[in-house]
Amino acid sequence: MGSESPVSMDTEHYGLTGRPFQLTPDASFWYESATHRKAMAYLGYGLALGEGFIVITGEIGAGKTTLLSHLLETIDPNRVEAIQLASTLVRGDDVLKLVAHAMGEDCSGSDRAKVLTVIEAQLKERARAGKRVLIVVDEVQNMTIGALEELRMVSNFSTGSQPVVQLLLLGQPEFKDTIASAPLEQLKQRVIATHHLGPMEAEEVQPYIEHRLRNVGWQGRPRISEESVEQVFERSGGIPRRINQMMTRAMLMAALEDSDVVSDSLMVSVIADLSREEEAGRPVADALGSDTSSGTASALITDDVALDIVARITILEAQVAEQEATLRRVLNLLIDWVERENVGRRVPVAAV
C-alpha cells in the first residue's frame, strides 16, 4: 500500500487511504510498464558488471526518480552502498567534495589532490568490507563538463583489478547530446549500459491508473471510463507525471460532482482547465525551454534561467491559491444548498 499522505477531499469522498496520483515520486507506487521493465533489465545488467557508468535518460515526468527509488529498494545494502549527490549544480572539483561529504568526510577546505586521496581511501575501506559503492547522480544534465570529468576520474579507482565504485547517471534527453560531445569522449567509453525511458503505451495507461488507485484501497469507485483514459493518453503522451496531474484534477472534480464515474465529459473539462492554465504560463515555460543550438551543455544554468524558475514558481503559487479559493466558494455553496435541502438533518461535508 502507498505511503501515508494528507487526506484530501477526493480521497475522503471515495474512501481511499491516501492520494493515488501524488506528484512526489514514491517507490510504493512502482508500476512496471514495458519501458520501465527494460530500464530495470539494463540496470541489473550494469550493476552485475560492477564498473563504469550506467546512464538512464527520459523526459521530465517519465519516472526516472521513481525508477531510482525502486532500484534502491532492490539492491543488497550489504554488497552495494548507494550514495546520492545532494546537488548537481556544481562545477569542477566541487563535485569531488560532494562525493567526499556523502561518504562522511568534510573536505570543504581541502584542495583537489587531498579530496581525491580521501575518496580513494574511503572506497578502498568499503571494498575491504566487501562493499562496492554506487554513486547516484539525478538530474545529471545540470552538471558541467568539468564536474562530469571529475566523476570519470573517480570511476578509475580500483583495488588491484577489482573496481570499487560505479556511477549511475539519470537525466533529461539532452544529456545524450552532452555525453556524445568531444570533451566527454573518455567518459562515453566507460558507459557500459544506457536506456532512454520512454512514455507508456496507450494500452498501459488504464492499468497504470487502476494500479495506483488500488494501492490506496480503491474498490472501483469512481469507475474510470475507457473514453476518459483515451483522452488522458492523448493529452499526456503516456508520461506518468502528466497522467498523475490529470487524474488528480479529475478525481477532485468527480468528488465535487459526487460522481461515481470519471467520464469522458468530465475529462474534457479537466483538459480545458489545464489548457487555460498552461496558456497563462506559456511565456515563462518557453523561457525555460532547452536551447541546444549553441552546442554547449545545457547544464550551464544562468542567472536569467534561475529568475525564470522563481517567476514560474510564483505564478504556480498564485494559481494554487486561486484554485483553493474557488474550491472553498464551491464548497460553501454546497454546504448552503445541503442545509437548505436537509433541514433538521446533519449531513457530513468533507473539509478542505
Residue among 232, 148, 235 nearest 191 (CA): 148
274 and 168 co-located in one domain: no
The number of domains in the chain is 2
Residue that terminates a domain, selected from 167, 197, 227: 197
Looking at the fold, whether 111 and 224 belong to one and the same domain comes out as: no
Find the domain containing 291 and state its range.
Answer: 9-28+200-341
Residues 170 and 221 in one domain: no
Residue where one domain finishes, among candidates 197, 214, 248: 197
C-alpha cell at 239: 508520461
Domain limit, last residue, from 197, 232, 249: 197
Residues 60 and 25: beta-carbon distance below 8 Å: no
| Residue 347 in domain | no
Residue 6 has a CB neighbour count (10 Å cut-off) of 8
350 part of a folded domain: no
Distance, CA of 245 to CA of 219 (rounded, Å): 21
Q: Is 212 found in the same domain as 192?
A: no
- Long-range Cβ contact pairs of 320-329 (< 8 A, separation 24 or more): 324/352, 327/9, 327/252, 327/256, 327/352, 328/352
Q: 3-class SS at 192?
A: strand
Task: Specify whether 183 is located in the same domain as 273.
Answer: no
Evaluate whether residue 3 is within a structural domain: no
pLDDT at 89: 83
- Per-residue pLDDT tens digits of the chain, which is 352 residues long: 444 445 567 888 999 999 999 988 889 999 999 999 999 999 999 999 999 999 999 999 999 999 999 999 999 999 999 999 877 788 787 999 999 999 999 998 889 999 999 999 999 999 999 999 999 999 999 999 999 999 999 999 988 888 999 999 999 999 999 999 989 999 999 999 999 999 999 999 999 999 999 999 999 999 999 999 999 999 999 999 999 999 999 999 999 999 999 999 999 999 998 888 888 765 433 333 333 333 333 333 334 344 444 444 545 555 566 666 667 666 766 666 666 666 555 544 444 3
What's the pTM? 0.74
**What is the per-residue pLDDT for 344?**
52
Q: In what helix (H) or strand (E) does residue 223 lie, and over which residues does it extend? A: strand 223-224
Do 141 and 87 contact (CB within 8 A), yes or no?
A: no
Residues 310, 299 within the same domain: yes
